[in-house]
Amino acid sequence: MDEMTRLRELRADAPVPDRATLAPGRERLTDAIEGRSRRTLRLRADWRIASLGAVVAITAAALFVTQIVDTSDPRQSGPATVAGDLDLSSPAAALGEAADYLERQEVPPEPRSDQWIYLREENPEQEKQWKEMPADIRKTMPWSYSPDSWIPYDDKAAENDESDTDYRTARESYRIAAGLPEDPEALLAELRKVFPTGDGSNGPREDKDAHSFRALTVLLQSYPLPPDALARIYRALATIQGIGVTDHLIRDAGGRQVIAVTRAYDRNTRSEIFIDPVDYSYAGQRDVVTRTHEVTGPEGIEPIAHQRGDILLDVARTRAAVVDAKGQKP
């Protein structure tokens, strides 16, 4: 059996293998293996990993899940918000409030080409796995866990790398967002062009709504985005078929209360985008098992059982800022 066939079997039950084989929570690991700074997701269904050994190591870590109980109490009031009482009755209401607020904000200057983007993203499960990994194995790994990362705003080498059509630098993402049209349908169509889907060779192609949600999610992870552009993005997000919103704030991996915008990824999993209820910035993401099932792995690896409520991915963005140098914190 060739390596790519075994790779495709890692999530044989998922209808769109591209995102399953490269979930956002695994981006830090795969980018380190490829020697690239952490930035955006690889988006195509025909994505390749050079080493099957690396795939197995990443999958073993990423699929080791812990069931997490949501401690939020929908009867308790959430944090003070700029918009007053939140309307979480529907995606249109919640995202419309966010867009209304963002449209009133002043657009700050675009970062300079010599500046850096600082991100702090909490991933407790990944941190736990790293700390519990034997020291001798950690020494052989081409990556290490750190919640802090620095990304050059202007990365000309990456922009000019035509071999990777899915990668977008911070500057490219900023300008893509700034140029998006007002009309939600036209905006989503533009993002589907910017972040294309696979050719179907590795499994069924995404439908239009799944593609729109994935492409939009990738852009939301970029920082910074102009507030007026973020408003247009949220209004478009509300129009995607299958979008939902929890009717109360939930706890993220950093313990904060956040808005959760949801959409089913497949019949077994729900994807959630977190939004800060105070300034409506992107606050992280989570993937939750919605149906008990087993995931089969490569030959020789026992199937992994997922229980309803298990968390497959839980990332909280707790800080984001433009800084003047790598290593600098705000």
| Three-class DSSP labels, the chain | CCHHHHHHHHHCCCCCHHHHHCCHHHHHHHHHHHCCCCCCCCCCCCCCCCCHHHHHHHHHHHCCCEECCCCCCCCCCCCCCCCCCCCCCCHHHHHHHHHHHHHCCCCCCCCCCCCEEEEEEECHHHHHHHHHCCHHHHHHCCCCCCCEEEEECCCHHHHCCCCCCCCCCHHHHHHHHHCCCCCHHHHHHHHHHHCCCCCCCCCCCCCHHHHHHHHHHHHHCCCCCCHHHHHHHHHHHCCCCCCEECCCCEECCCCCEEEEEEEECCCCEEEEEEECCCCCCEEEEEEEECCCEEECCCCCCCCEEECCCEEEEEEEEEEEEEECCCCCCC
Q: Please state the separation of Cα 22 from the chain's center in Å.
A: 10
Report yes or no on 330 lying in a domain.
Answer: no
Beta-bridge mates of residue 149 = 119
Give the pLDDT confidence score for residue 259 in this predicted structure: 98
Report yes or no on 197 lying in a domain.
Answer: yes
Do 24 and 282 meet the contact criterion of CB atoms below 8 Å apart? no
Report yes or no on 328 lying in a domain.
Answer: no
Q: Which amino acid is at 310?
A: D
Report yes or no on 329 lying in a domain.
Answer: no
Give the pLDDT confidence score for residue 137 in this predicted structure: 86
Report yes or no on 188 lying in a domain.
Answer: yes
How many whole angstroms separate alpha carbon 21 and alpha carbon 14? 10
Q: 270-294 as b/e, with b when 16 or more CB fall inside 10 Å?
A: bbbbbbbbbebbbbbbbbbbbeebe
Looking at the structure of the chain, the number of domains it has is 1
How many whole angstroms separate alpha carbon 143 and alpha carbon 140? 9
Report yes or no on 239 lying in a domain.
Answer: yes
Give the pLDDT confidence score for residue 58 in this predicted structure: 38
Give the pLDDT confidence score for residue 203 in this predicted structure: 66
The contacts of residue 76 (CB under 8 Å, 6+ apart) are: none
Report yes or no on 245 lying in a domain.
Answer: yes
Give the pLDDT confidence score for residue 143 in this predicted structure: 78
Owning domain of residue 73:
3-323
How many whole angstroms separate alpha carbon 149 and alpha carbon 131? 18
Give the pLDDT confidence score for residue 144 in this predicted structure: 81
Report yes or no on 64 lying in a domain.
Answer: yes
Taking only the tens of pLDDT, the chain with its 330 residues reads 444 344 334 444 444 333 333 334 334 433 333 333 333 333 433 332 223 333 333 333 443 333 333 434 333 334 445 445 799 999 999 999 999 999 999 999 999 999 999 999 999 888 888 888 888 888 888 778 899 999 999 998 888 887 766 679 999 999 999 999 999 999 999 999 999 887 767 667 899 999 999 999 999 999 999 999 999 999 999 999 999 999 999 999 999 999 999 999 999 999 999 999 999 999 999 999 999 999 887 888 888 899 999 999 999 999 999 999 999 999
Q: Which amino acid is at 95?
A: L
